[in-house]
Structure 1
Amino acid sequence: MSDTTAPAAAPDTEVVARVRGATKSYPGVTALDGADFEIRSGEVRALLGRNGAGKSTLIRLLSGVEAPDAGDIEIGGTPLAGGGIRRAAELGVGTVYQELSLVPELSAAENLYLGSWPGGRGRIDYAAMRAGAEEVFAELGVDISPQTRVGELPLAQQQLVEIARAFRARPRLLILDEPTSALAAAEAETVLEAVTRVASRGVGVVYVSHRLDEIRRVADTVTVMRDGAVVETVPVRGATTARIVSLMLGGDAGQEQAPPRRRAHAGGTPLLSVRDLSVPPKVEGVSFDLYPGEVLGLGGLMGSGRTELLRALAGFAPCGGTVEVDGTPVARPTPRAMRRLGVGITPEDRKGEGVVPLLGVSENMVMTWFGGASRAGTVLPSRVSSLGRDLIDRLSIKASGPDTPIVNLSGGNQQKAVIGRWLHAGSRILLLDEPTRGVDVEAKAQIYGIVRELAGQGAAVLFVSSELEELPLVCDRVLALRAGRLHGEFTGDDITLDNIMAAAMAA
């Protein structure tokens, strides 16, 4: 790709935001530790760091969502001084978060003016609102009719409406948190063009993303954070991927790469074979094999297509290409067909899709297959409890009893119960989407042990994670997914965080 990076903001331009010695702690963790940060008018600053590096905390402080425990924050030379979101907005901070906050039933213009309607005496001036929206869209080069209902717009244009809403307030500083994570590459281009236009009007832009190709396209500089501290800020032009990865990982990365007990497959028929799998518009041309007794890691950052790929393999999304289970082609993967073939999936959204909160632990674990808990078509509660108790013991789930509502369990124990559901169903192929998200260190180690044990018993496990550092700890082989395509395969001593991170981020 050609280098289209704009020249960095001149050093004599206005500093639109400055953070000095910011510290922020939460129970048991220091999220920011003496962080310093500065951005100038017209500059696009990429913000990079691993999960837990402190990026989100820094954004919340700049946005006024939270106040630092120590340190100072200035917007346009004026102290924010814990004034909150309203004070930050008054000083010129606009923030667009990863999750859209639009009202689908309202028009694009109404969303732009949400909470600040033009007019007076209890009446809204719709003509002024439409004219204002047209002006903002024109400035950003956005081709959206102000009268179009937002719910009818494609996702990329909804993201542009979010940016336009923040830009309408004429901010000094615009913070964009993973604005393209849910978009395909072609859709993301329209967002990047809008970001460039925003910066050309003198707005400082903080751009949070892990997509290095986007960062090279739109950013002037990149600030790398690690362990709650700002490590370094470097010009994007000339910063190699290896250099950025090195800054993100630091000198202690090797300590996290202790190799797990590895198994190499001995050939033969894979349990799962995928060829040229496509899930428009997020996944294209993915091919791989998964063997009995193997833990295959799939490492990808936010927006890489990980979840879309797994959902397609489990039959929850239409896909192109071919899928074979144990050598037999699956003409049309559906949830029922894949479940009968022995495929089980633990979803990324455990709370929303993985558990039924008010049902007991045992009910949650046997609900996929009631055959072992029923007689003559009738589910027997005593049998459900008995089966649940066995699974609770086997997986070391901490629960007061099999009938305890699963919502009362910790995240780690809920996750073990979701995995237990597929053990009960006798699944041979496990698709684990972010199986350790939101669980503590002890629970993570237990889940790693469960995964290795299942592989030792002949199951094939596809272990998907955005926390790339955990893949060397549990996987026999790792594939790197970037922008919906595979960009590297690692085995043995090559399964290192450096290698996986570089393949998942490289432009």
Structure 2
Amino acid sequence: MTDETPSPASAGAVATARAVTKSYPGVRALHGADFEVRAGEVRALLGRNGAGKSTLIRLLCGVETPDDGTVEIGGEPLAAGGVRRATELGVGTVHQELSLVPQMSAAENLYLGAWPGTARGIDHAAMRAGAREAFADLGVTIDPDTPIGELPLAQQQLVEIARALRSRPRLLILDEPTSALAAGETDIVLAAVTRVAERGVGVVYVSHRLDEIRRVSDTVTVMRDGAVVETAPVRGATTAHIVSLMLGHEQDRAVQRTDNAVDRSGTPLLSVRDLSVPPKVESVSFELYPGEVLGLAGLMGAGRTEVLRALAGFTPADGAVAIAGTPVARRTPGAMKNLGVGITPEDRKSEGVVPLLGVSENMVMSWFGGASRAGTVLPSRVSALGRDLVDRFSIKTARSDTPIVNLSGGNQQKAVIGRWLHAQSRILLLDEPTRGVDVEAKAQIYRIVRDLADGGAAVVFVSSELEELPLVCDRVLSLRAGRIDGEFTGDDITLDTIMAAAMAV
């Protein structure tokens, strides 16, 4: 790979960023970054969380303006014109989270906010005809009258792409467009991206999946610590080199905690055999022993959350599960909770807490043992238990009856974990337990996890921040496309080995 130094006069450039810098309070997100995309080019954009990818995208689509440097679309300065100016100059963006209305039809979503009309109102016939044409341009057939919520995820993603293309942009930005898709669905989206580029549209394709990048991209830009470190052709780019660019000096840093001697000679506390959650997870098998923290590594969409939700009984799944050697015939949330399985969900705000209830109530709600008498929950006992749990987990709150929504993300997360310890769970399934929390809270959560393991509990630890896994895990399994394809123990649990496995073709 060779460095590319973009030129302001580059022929066919549809988007150019020159020496752009962007800072937020306490964070320098971009510094001196150069970036350029040409007509008909698919440019992959890679980097770890916090590398600056999202900030660069926000500058290109007009959501943010740079503190220094310039952004041009089609040779015209974007300046401070915002999203409207970017759209007028020809930028279309498809964000990672779908922005569709499930109850509306595919055609209505395609024309959302700009429905064709007549003197009598919305011209539904024109809208349907335009939708059929837009979907045909992507090489797919979607019934314009079908409610979006009834379409497969891949087709929902294509409706998003078609909506972004409706204004005939010269630049299309796709942020992790396949992260929630199964392998077969991904092929449909990649074919559409190739078709778009063949029409002369420049595409910025953000993804961590190198197999997709090799199939659809012409060039790749790698970012690290707010800077562009290299741009080069995809052909010949090895996984090892890309990982080394993403990690920089950190790949040489042997960040590992002291080895914990896990006794794996006895009966596993959790045994999983051929667990399958179609279409995302296929034949996952592993054992989890008392005192062990098992990391589950993988990129977004690899099937990590689906595995945890299936084990907690929230998602129907095929395969066999045993707790302490006893097979579990019926897996429901209540049955798994009674067997000692607790889960902290990925989406803490909507699934992990009841926002307006107090901290005490949130922490005892999974098990009212010790807080009730003769079947009646006693507020005084809830408060007393809550105060003890708040002290035990160092939760920062003036009062234990403070609504949990008023706490920081880190303190909310500690309360969710504490809830399952109060419920006497012996198997903890932690899905993104440090997402959205500060550095101090992260360190406290690591310590809580290790203390749980030292006390004989078993933990499955899922995190998109792969650098966390060497700090807290005794063993790490790599999950790709719904299958386990690697296992790391001891000195092999390093950031570069885990990331290389997660991104490998």
Name the TM-score, length of structure 1 as normaliser.
0.96
Q: What corresponds to 2:6 in structure 1? A: none
**Contact persistence 1:487–1:504 (CA under 8 A):** no
Matches within 5 A, 1:336-485: 336-485=334-483
Deviation at 1:13, TM superposition (A): 4.7
Q: How far off its partner does 1:99 sit?
A: 1.2
Match for residue 95 of structure 1?
93
Question: Could you say which residue in structure 2 is the equivalent of 1:252?
Answer: 250
| Deviation of the 1:125 alpha carbon | 2.9
- Partners of 2:21 and 2:435 in 1: how far apart? 25
Q: 1:179-220, CA deviations, whole angstroms, 9 ceiling, x for partnerless residues?
A: 111110001110110000000000001111111111111111
Partner of 2:174: 176
The residue identity in structure 1 corresponding to 2:47 is: G
CA RMSD, Structure 1 to Structure 2 (Å): 1.3
Alignment-mate amino acid for residue 390 of structure 2:
I
Aligned to 1:272: 270
- Provide the C-alpha distance between the structure 1 equivalents of 2:87 and 2:230, rounded to a whole number of angstroms: 28
Shift of 1:130: 2.3
**Aligned AA for 2:226?**
G
CA contact (8 A) 2:433 2:463 kept: yes
Structure 1 residues 260 and 89 mapped into 2: Cα distance closer, same or farther (>3 Å)?
farther
Matched, 1:82 2:63: no
**CA shift at 1:445, angstroms?**
0.6
CA distance in 1, matches of 2:285, 2:43: 36
What secondary structure sits across from 1:480 in the alignment?
Answer: strand
C-alpha separation in 2, matches of 1:407 and 1:124: 42
Residues 260 and 475 in structure 1, CA contact (< 8 A), matched pair in contact too: no
Equivalent in 485, 488, 491 of residue 490 of structure 1: 488
SS in 2 for 1:53: coil
Q: Secondary structure at the match of 1:251?
A: helix
Deviations 1:56-99 (A, max 9, x none): 11111111011111110000000000100010000000000111
Q: CA separation in 1, counterparts of 2:11 and 2:68?
A: 27
Shift of 1:316: 0.2
1:148 shift after superposition: 2.4
The AA in structure 2 aligned to 1:204 is G
Identity %, equivalent residues: 79
CA distance in 2, matches of 1:266, 1:283: 26
- The structure-2 alpha-carbon separation of the partners of 1:179 and 1:396, relative to structure 1 and needing over 3 Å to count, comes to same
Counterpart AA for 2:328: V
| Alpha-carbon distance between aligned partners in 2 of 1:59 and 1:94, rounded to the nearest angstrom | 11
Matched length: 497
Tell which deviates more after alignment, 143-152 or 310-319. Answer: 143-152
Distance 2:38 2:95 in 1: 21
Q: Is the 8 A contact 1:465 1:471 kept in 2?
A: yes
Deviation at 1:16, TM superposition (A): 0.3
Q: Secondary structure at the match of 2:222?
A: strand
TM superposition shift of 1:422: 0.8
Give the superposition deviation at 1:120: 4.6
Query: Higher mean Cα deviation, 419-428 or 129-138?
Result: 129-138
Distance in 1 separating the partners of 2:365 and 2:407: 18
Residue 64 of structure 2: which of 48, 63, 66 is its match? 66
SS in 2 for 1:311: helix
Picking from 224, 227, 237, the partner of 2:225 is 227
What do residues 281-313 of structure 1 show as CA deviations (whole Å, max 9, x unaligned)? 111111110000011111111111111110000
8 Å contact from structure 2 (residues 262, 289) kept in 1:
no
Q: Deviations over 1:135-185 (max 9, x none)?
A: 221111011122322222111111111101111211100001111111100
Partners of 1:358 and 1:12 in 2: how far apart?
Answer: 56
Taking the aligned partners of 1:415 and 1:300, their CA distance within structure 2 comes to 22
Q: Is the 8 A contact 2:37 2:43 kept in 1?
A: yes
Cα offsets for 1:419-456 (capped at 9, x unmatched) = 10011111110000011111111111111011101100
Per-residue deviation, 1:261: 4.2
Cα distance in structure 2, aligned partners of 1:232 and 1:479:
30
What do residues 343-381 of structure 1 show as CA deviations (whole Å, max 9, x unaligned)? 000111111111111111111111000021111111111
Q: Secondary structure at the match of 2:266?
A: coil
- How many angstroms does 1:461 deviate by? 0.6
Deviating more after overlay: 208-217 vs 249-258: 249-258
Report the TM-score when normalising by structure 2. 0.96
Q: Is the 8 A contact 1:73 1:80 kept in 2?
A: yes
CA distance in 1, matches of 2:293, 2:104: 47
Report the CA distance shift for 1:115/1:362 in structure 2 as closer, same or farther (over 3 A). same
Per-residue CA distance 1:365-424 (angstroms, 9 max, x = gap)? 110000211111111111111111111111111111211111111111111111100111
Deviates more, 1:199-208 or 1:123-132: 123-132
Instruction: For 1:217, give the aligned amino acid.
Output: R
2:444 is matched by which residue type in structure 1?
A: Q
Cα distance in 1 for partners of 2:120, 2:438 equals 51
- Partner secondary structure for residue 247 of structure 1: helix
What is the identity, as a one-letter code, of the residue corresponding to 1:263? A
C-alpha distance in structure 1 between counterparts of 2:382 and 2:10, whole Å? 70
What is the correspondence of 1:297-316 to structure 2 with a 5 Å cutoff? 297-316=295-314
The farther-off stretch of 106-115 and 180-189 is 106-115
Q: Which runs of 5+ in 1 are unaligned?
A: 1-10
Distance in structure 2 (CA, Å) of the matches to 1:348 and 1:280: 20
Asked if the contact 2:296–2:463 (Cα under 8 Å) also holds between the matched residues in 1, the reply is yes
In the alignment, which residue of structure 1 is the partner of 2:105? 107
Say whether the 8 Å CA contact 1:258–1:473 is kept in structure 2: yes
SS of the equivalent of 2:370 reads helix
- Name the amino acid aligned to 2:408: S
Paired letter, 1:114: L
Q: Tell me by how many angstroms 1:109 deviates.
A: 1.9
Quick check: 255-264 or 283-292, which moved more? 255-264
Task: Find the counterpart in structure 2 of residue 7 from structure 1.
Answer: none
Instruction: Please give the alpha-carbon distance, in whole angstroms, between the structure 1 residues aligned to 2:223 and 2:207.
Output: 13
